[in-house]
Amino acid sequence: MKYYSTRDKNLRSPLKEAVLSGLAPDGGLFMPEEIPIQPLPDLTEKSLLEIAFQIGLPFICEDISESAYGDMIERVFPFDAPLVELDSNLSVLELFHGPTLAFKDFGARFMAELMSYLIRGDDSPLTVLAATSGDTGSAVAHGFLGAPNINVVLLYPSGRVSTLQEKQLTTCGKNITALSVEGSFDDCQRLVKEAFLNTELRKSKRLTSANSINIARLLPQSFYYFRALAQLKKRSDSAVFSVPSGNFGNLTAGILAKKMGAPISRFLAATNQNKIVPEFLRTDLYTPAPSIPTLSNAMDVGNPSNFERLTDLLGDTAKDFAPWITGHFFSDEETLGAIREIQERYEYSLCPHTAVGALALAREQTPGIVLATAHPIKFTEEISRAGLDTSHIKMPEQLKDILNKESTAISMPADKSAFFEFLSEL
């Protein structure tokens, strides 16, 4: 399997180059040259591990043996993605049972294992860069923690992540360095992209990305769409998924799953006030803008990187997107209202991101599945703002000691010269 650039389909690379480069040489994003159709008549019988093996193997089998891949995914997925059916119209796919309590654990752990396998025997160290608006950084940090010959640099917007999120990504130490950037997530993402496009820096450093621009982050996110469908009590050939969306990697993975044969009808792109894609779907104009801080901070993205992959998969116009995706956006006030309503109606707690997904499904008035992207314990301050008592939300084992750990973040201006100098001295 080769991987082509979204900007030039004639520019193709093997798996190792695609994963370790992050971006294609022309600045495009890598995509698989083929999306294998999966025969899944017995989907209900399959566990997450079985699905991960069947779905993932065709994409990497030329580079990894079946036995090595089987061992790899057993290390990656010691947790599941349970589907909770709140009523006949509303189901929630809990993607927060990994070590950092967010859906990013699926992609980050898979990528860390795959990269470690691909660089075995190499002498030169690998530097992994990741911009984070919240949960990506902690998932990448814990996925790569202690990985031999790999250094990780995380960039996050100062003051724009929750207390627990910041603790998770700044307390690892060892081969993990966190940079507190004086700016927005878009500034962090811009710095990462500029680093990859700087030829002098890349001559001295072996760089790759751990954001969803990396194809190794994207592929495993398709697994849990199949896992959700496997758990539905009422079988359907037209499942609707509501996807809380920021950088749009999660929704892009869903499109891949549908193209592989998952019985999905369509997707709801659920955003906060960073409504770039919903506005594109309404006006046919894609207009990036500075990101707006919201309660659902991991979705505060003003220029989603994976939009480039979506246009590659679907086409360039809103008309091309229409059969696949419907867009909705919501305010912080509406988000708090949804958190409160779901808690009062079902005694079930939502993080702000998941609440945005629930709002989109409610607006559509259709049965469907909402992706729950983070554990509510990570957002108790926001849930309290909805007027709710959070004492019933139990602290998972993964977080019990983290608040007592010392943060070691380094302050950094949103300036590429300062960032490049830091990388050159790392």
- 104 belongs to the catalytic site: yes
Using DSSP's 3-state secondary structure scheme, residue 102 falls into strand
DSSP state of 36: P
Q: Which residues sit opposite 5 in a β-bridge?
A: 8, 30
Nearest to 265 by CA among 291, 233, 240: 240
The residue written with tokens 């919201």 in the block is 294
Longest alpha-carbon distance in the chain: 57
Q: Which residues sit opposite 240 in a β-bridge?
A: 266
In contact, 186 and 301? CB cutoff 8 Å: yes
Q: Which residues contact 80 (CB under 8 A, 6 or more apart)?
A: 47, 48, 97, 227
DSSP state of 273: S
Quote the CA–CA distance of 133 and 210 in Å, as a whole number.
13
Question: Of 46, 104, 275, 378, which residue is the catalytic one?
Answer: 104
- 373 burial level (CB within 10 Å; 0-12, 13-18, 19+): buried
**Catalytically annotated residues:** 104
